[in-house]
Structure 1
Amino acid sequence: MSDSPADDDAPEEARVDGRAARWAGHREARRLELVDAAVAAIVEHGPEVTTEQIAERAGVSRPGLYRHFDGRDDLQSAIAARSVERLVHELEPVWRPSGRPFDMLAKALRAHLRWLEANANVYRYLKRTSFGTGGESATTNVRETVAGHVAGMLVDGSLGAEIPPPVAHPLAFGLVGMVDSASAHWLDEPHGAGLDDLATQLTEACWAVIRATVGGAVDAV
């Protein structure tokens, strides 16, 4: 029996390819469901979450979970990729600049810190998990992605002045590295600082570095 009336008139090879594509789509959707369940398990149990806890959250057995992944490394990489995707999506409005450059910078930093505070266990998991096969941590991938966006904003003048790429890219990666290191430390040891306190401190520090790098060409207004 064919999958649909339209399949009856299609060549056999086309029908096979169509069924294969639908099956691949079903497997990919199921895999994504399991990854989202794994992220939820990390939120609940912390970065030391076990495969058994992930499987329980997903409502499958441990062998059933691994039918969709090529071992633990593949599962961890899929979790990392999904988490990076969510963070970048959370920050997506920041990449559409509007308003005063200083305020845009403050908005971006607050968005990052809010995500970090709400997803502390996921962030800690990313720090200890390799991304893909390169051996780099998933947080390295996050920094590179965000720094690339920031560099683009520096080059096109969104942050107050058009900065040449040879200057903008090192500056962007330096700023993102500083923010990532400071916010990761704050997450574990806040020393009494609230989110707004840190956001203000980081905004002023980043702005001072930008101004020191490019001189008076950058203005907050």
Structure 2
Amino acid sequence: MPPPAPQDGRRSRWTEHRRARREDLVGAAVEAVRRTGPDFAVDDVARSAGVSKTVIYRYFTDKDELVDAVLERISGTVLLPRLLGEIAGEHRDDRAGLRAVITAFVSLIEDEPELYRFAYAQTGRSGRADLVAATEHQIADALAALFAERLEAAGRPSTAATTWAYGVVGMVQLTTHWWSMSRPLPAADLVEQLVDLADGGLSALLP
């Protein structure tokens, strides 16, 4: 059996350099979004990175590919760590856990309003992978697993866990988007109203 062919060290170093350079440019694009909002241009990214547009297009085939990379960065380093961390965390009771997860999402909008507006603006982009929806699915699936665990521990069937999880995610996402447009009430009040609704609030309206 012939020995394995030696790896080309120069090629490996070039691949790593290209990967690192691309990551730097994605970071510059995120900063451009923070400054200019969801309608950022490639020129904004070039200025943020201190390079020409030509350099940007050496690493990204077009703006859509750059947008996808920014969405992946926002999802992987900003949104998911906050929400999945709260879902997996220890809380005093289930209501406190709901409050922590909803607070994490609302605080994201307060802390990173332009990144949120950018991500929301990319929902359902024609012909591209819907990375926003994929992130929402990850959050809902994690919440569904938690709901199923709680139901089974209480000796109840867990068949509704996924429905409830996606319902909660949709409720929080749509309501906070409405709220973000004009901030008609304080964030803390918004969180408590959403917690009340998720924790059986509608039952108070029924005879």
Normalised to the residue count of structure 1, the TM-score between the two structures is: 0.80
Correspondence for 1:199: 191
Correspondence for 2:64: 73
Given candidates 25, 37, 54, the residue that maps to 1:63 is 54
- How do residues 57-136 of structure 1 correspond to structure 2 at under 5 angstroms? 57-86=48-77, 87-98=79-90, 99-129=92-122, 135=128
Q: How much identity, in percent, do the aligned residues show?
A: 27
Correspondence for 2:165: 172
Q: Which runs of 5+ in 1 are unaligned?
A: 1-10, 213-221
Correspondence for 1:219: none
CA-CA distance at 1:106 after TM superposition = 0.5
CA-CA distance at 1:164 after TM superposition = 4.2
In 2, Cα distance between the equivalents of 1:81 and 1:64?
A: 21
Residue 156 of structure 1 contacts residue 163 of structure 1 at CA under 8 Å; is this kept in 2? no
Q: Give the aligned CA root-mean-square deviation in angstroms.
A: 2.6
Normalised to the residue count of structure 2, the TM-score between the two structures is: 0.85
The number of residue pairs the alignment matches comes to: 199
Correspondence for 2:176: 183
Compare 90-99 and 125-134 and name the one that shifted more. Answer: 125-134
In 1, Cα distance between the equivalents of 2:191 and 2:113?
A: 16
Q: Does 1:26 align with 2:17?
A: yes
In 1, Cα distance between the equivalents of 2:176 and 2:141?
A: 19
Which AA in structure 1 matches 2:37? G
In 1, Cα distance between the equivalents of 2:153 and 2:187?
A: 25
Post-superposition Cα deviations, 1:76-97, rounded to whole Å, max 9, x if no partner, equal 1101111111210122421323
Compare 83-92 and 198-207 and name the one that shifted more. Answer: 83-92
Cα distance, 1:143–1:45 mapped onto 2, change above 3 Å? same
Q: Which runs of 5+ in 2 are unaligned?
A: none
